[in-house]
Chain A
Amino acid sequence: MMKKALLLLLVALTGTLTLSAQKETDFTSRFLEQDHVEEAVFCQTVGPAMIAQLVTAYSGSLSPEVAAQLKNIKSMRVVTAKGTLAPDELLRIALNLLQQDKGRYTELAEKSHYQLYARKKKDTIVELILIDTQHAQFNMVNVTGTLDADALQQLISKTQ
């Protein structure tokens, strides 16, 4: 029982340490805070620790492209609509959030079937938000990491 108390203390301390240095949260966190959104979507999260585990677990079998991409990715979240809110509505809420804070997110591409936004720090992209609206669906990928021009190129364009 004492051990549990100490473990909790440990978690709190570690949390405090990380909090003191790094405070930002990704777009998906804000998105899920909007009214009715959390119940309306499935959100699958792969955090930094799991990415690291992944790289180790699959060290032999990843394709060079994926391996290279994983180097730059710190987190990925995939958000898909459950159906309780219309995809259109989810898109509207997401775009609203993205465009609200002008200084925060930069629009990289706005097409009929997808939207791509980024958060930059100096010249590095630290966050990418891609919303796929094909086939009347709502699918969002929210990546954070450190992506320079090449890394971005790899993610958003086919080299062949």
Chain B
Amino acid sequence: MPTIDFRTDLLPLKNKLYRLALRIVADTVEAEDITEDTLIRVWQKRDELQDLRSVEAYCLTVCRHLALDRKALHDSQNASLDDLDYDAADAAPNPLDRLVGTDHLERIREIFNRLPERQRTLIQLRDIEGLRHSQIAEIMGTTEEAVKVSICRARQRMRQEFEAIENYGL
């Protein structure tokens, strides 16, 4: 049984974890905390992790849950975590916008952030982190089919919103 080494096995995952956390909580300080907590938690459980290949998926799963917990704690709204196709009420500019961005990209980012959390996470894991559908299914605790359906919905929605921007020249 290979033993997990913090520096070589866990620490390199920090940026993936950070980006996922950031995608969910939209706050850089919180996201850093969550990343740290995730790494510590996984490190403490390292003896229970048999197969090195699933460490990444496990870390992302833990990260997602920690981030969702944090978010629930801070959310004053009645945000549902289900994959419902509704417009998240929060259309106001969020802290993410203070990060890198031009006006142009900002609009896209807004579209992205208006997706329900689950769809945002899926896009994050697929389009940004480049994970396979099977890996994503493992992290989200669902089937590959469900993952593809949700990704399809997310992308179609983003496409609709682009078209809207283009057509109305906003």
Residues on A close to B: CB < 8 A? Answer: 1, 3
List residues of B (28-60) whose CB comes within 8 Å of A's CBs: 52-53
- Measured between beta carbons, the chain A residues less than 8 angstroms from B2 are 1, 3
- Number of B residues near A (Cβ < 8 Å) is 3
Query: How many Å lie between the Cα of A1 and that of B53 in the bound state?
Result: 8
Helix, strand, loop or mixed for chain B's interface?
A: helix
- Measured between beta carbons, the chain A residues less than 8 angstroms from B53 are 1
Chain A residue at minimum C-beta to C-beta distance from B1: A3
- A-B residue pairs in contact (CB < 8 Å), sample of 4: A1-B2, A1-B52, A1-B53, A3-B2
Query: How many Å lie between the Cα of A1 and that of B52 in the bound state?
Result: 8
Mask of B110-123 contacts with A, CB within 8 angstroms, 1/0: 00000000000000
Give the 4 A-B CB pairs with smallest separation, nearest first.
A1-B52, A1-B53, A3-B2, A1-B2
Chain B residue at minimum C-beta to C-beta distance from A3: B2
Query: How many Å lie between the Cα of A3 and that of B53 in the bound state?
Result: 13
B74 to chain A, nearest CB (A): 40
- Measured between beta carbons, the chain B residues less than 8 angstroms from A1 are 2, 52-53
A71 to chain B, nearest CB (A): 39
A15 to chain B, nearest CB (A): 24
Query: How many Å lie between the Cα of A1 and that of B1 in the bound state?
Result: 10
B108 to chain A, nearest CB (A): 39
Chain A residue at minimum C-beta to C-beta distance from B52: A1
B2 to chain A, nearest CB (A): 8
B72 to chain A, nearest CB (A): 37
Query: How many Å lie between the Cα of A20 and that of B125 in the bound state?
Result: 49
Query: How many Å lie between the Cα of A158 and that of B88 in the bound state?
Result: 78
A4 to chain B, nearest CB (A): 9
